[in-house]
């Protein structure tokens, strides 16, 4: 059985977060019970200010844009499910994901090594990993050349962690 949201949040904000950011990062997730599919929204706050958000409806719009922008994904896919996996990853890279993708990323993050998480295809998993206390200064310094290759929204979290640890190029 999956963890409750409060348990997930405790892991992310208190148990797994690096010391330099402890108490500064807050995760927010809600589900709109009156909506047609009971979808919700996810947000991340830094010092009380929302710095990132995503919801089901933004995800749908971005997903449709990915399908329109990248028809080559369909040609490069062997199956229907492979195609949609690629679309979902690209949508995530553009900063939109549904609430359940957030929960699935957390499950992966909790059950894999920090190295696997830092190298994950999922930008959400990489975000959890970059803020994790298991990613020490030496490991972070090795990641500096990769920051440029990260999605725009994820670079913010890489920069935040690097600044918090006093790591510069």
pLDDT in tens, 41-93: 889 999 999 999 888 778 888 888 888 888 888 888 888 888 888 888 888 88
Q: What is the crossing angle of helices 99-110 and 123-130, to 10°? A: 50
1: confidence class by pLDDT, cuts 50, 70, 90: very low
> Is pTM beyond 0.85 here?
yes
Instruction: Using the structure block, give the residue that is written with the tokens 């199956």.
Output: 79
Cα-based distances in Å from 91 to 70, 110, 130, 159: 11, 23, 20, 22
pLDDT for 55 equals: 81
pLDDT at 133: 96
Could you tell me the two tokens for 35?
Answer: 């909506």
What is the H or E stretch that residue 50 is in? strand 49-55
**Which pair of structure tokens corresponds to residue 165?**
């640890």
pLDDT tens figures, 99-145: 888 889 999 999 999 999 999 999 999 999 999 999 999 999 999 99
Range 12-24 average pLDDT: 94
For 12, 65, 102, 161, the CA distances from 107, given in Å and listed in that order, are 12, 28, 9, 22
């Amino acid at each position: 059985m999956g963890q409750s949201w409060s348990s997930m949040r405790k892991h992310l904000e208190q148990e797994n977060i690096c010391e330099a950011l402890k108490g500064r990062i807050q995760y927010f997730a809600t589900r709109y019970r009156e909506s047609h599919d009971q979808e919700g929204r996810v947000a991340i706050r830094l010092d009380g200010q929302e710095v990132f958000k995503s919801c089901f409806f933004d995800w749908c719009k971005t997903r449709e844009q990915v399908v329109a922008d990248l028809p080559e994904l369909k040609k490069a896919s062997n199956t229907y499910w492979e195609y949609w996996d690629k679309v979902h990853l690209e949508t995530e890279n553009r900063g939109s994901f549904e609430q359940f993708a957030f929960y699935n990323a957390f499950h992966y993050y909790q059950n894999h090594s920090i190295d696997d998480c830092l190298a994950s295809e999922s930008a959400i998993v990489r975000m959890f990993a970059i803020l994790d206390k298991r990613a020490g200064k030496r490991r972070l310094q090795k990641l500096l050349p990769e920051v440029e290759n990260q999605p725009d929204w994820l670079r913010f979290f890489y920069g935040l962690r690097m600044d918090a640890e006093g790591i510069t190029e």
